[in-house]
Amino acid sequence: MTRTPFLPVPDPVAFTVFGLDIMWYALFMTGSICIGFALMYVRAKKKGLDPEHVLDLAIYCVPAGILGARLYYVLFRWDYYSADLSQILNLRGGGMAIHGSLIGGIGMAIYLFRKWKEHPLKWLDLAAVSFPLAQSIGRWGNYFNSEAHGGPTDLPWAIYADGEFVHPTFLYESIWCFLLFLFLLWFDESGKKSFDGQLICMYAALYSLERIFVEGLRTDSLMIGPFKQAQVISACAIAASIALYALFRRMSKSEKANR
């Protein structure tokens, strides 16, 4: 290493308890989840929603999100895990995917909303503000693991990983997600939201737009044939978000006209 990296080379271990290493990754993941749900809890009552349901969502959706993240990753790395099935349960060895987490967590949430006879879109709009904040924080876990980085670069903000200076793609996503959080919070709090489902569609489209760009720089992508799966999923999410945005807006206008 002949130059100083933009950020110091990290130690992945935060501290050790009774011989067990506690990783920074775990702390950032746990902290991001707690902060995301805390924000939902604080904002729920203001939106006419029962804050106690936020606690129920945390109990059920966090495990569902973790399971979804792991199964999604294993599915796209089946060539590796099929050779040793015991590694599927080795969560400390890494291997989680944000798209799988969103599918698992949101899927469980929609089931609970229907069970409680709550309006899913109102709750998803509430969660849409918390999602990017949690992601912005959680991405720093990738930094401490020296993972999810890009290819070689001479840019002044390069970090040092795997023996070379590389794009800090975790940082690109962290910054984008934090700005997205601020934008969605402002949009909602300023009263600009005009129909239910608007925020979740905006979140899905704007996060996916960033992910297409950042994934193009990463070197550890899961693949669908010759294509990076995150880019394929993100492109589909953008198309679906635009279609659902138009549908939800039309439904809202129709409901208002029939009142």
pLDDT tens-digit map of 7-31: 999 999 999 999 999 999 999 999 9
How far is residue 35's CA from residue 224's CA, in Å, rounded to a whole number? Answer: 33
Residue 89 pLDDT grade (very low, low, confident, very high; cuts 50, 70, 90): confident
Please choose, from the candidates 88, 7, 76, the residue with its C-alpha nearest in 3D space to the C-alpha of residue 224.
76
Structure tokens at 128: 């849409």
Domain boundaries, the chain: 25-196
pLDDT at 92 over 70: no
How far is residue 126's CA from residue 131's CA, in Å, rounded to a whole number? Answer: 9
Please tell me what DSSP assigns to residue 91. Answer: G
Residue 93 pLDDT grade (very low, low, confident, very high; cuts 50, 70, 90): low
Please tell me what DSSP assigns to residue 8. Answer: P
Q: Are 123 and 199 in contact (CB under 8 A)?
A: no
Cβ count within 10 A of residue 216: 14
SS3 194: coil
Q: How many CA atoms lie within 13 A of 208 on its CB side?
A: 22
Minimum mean pLDDT range among 5-14, 71-80, 170-179: 71-80
pLDDT at 182 over 90: yes
Structure tokens at 12: 């992945």
The per-residue pLDDT for 98 is 84
The per-residue pLDDT for 81 is 87
Count of residues making up the chain: 259
pLDDT at 104 over 70: yes
The per-residue pLDDT for 2 is 75
Mean pLDDT of 173-191: 97
The per-residue pLDDT for 96 is 81
pLDDT at 82 over 90: no
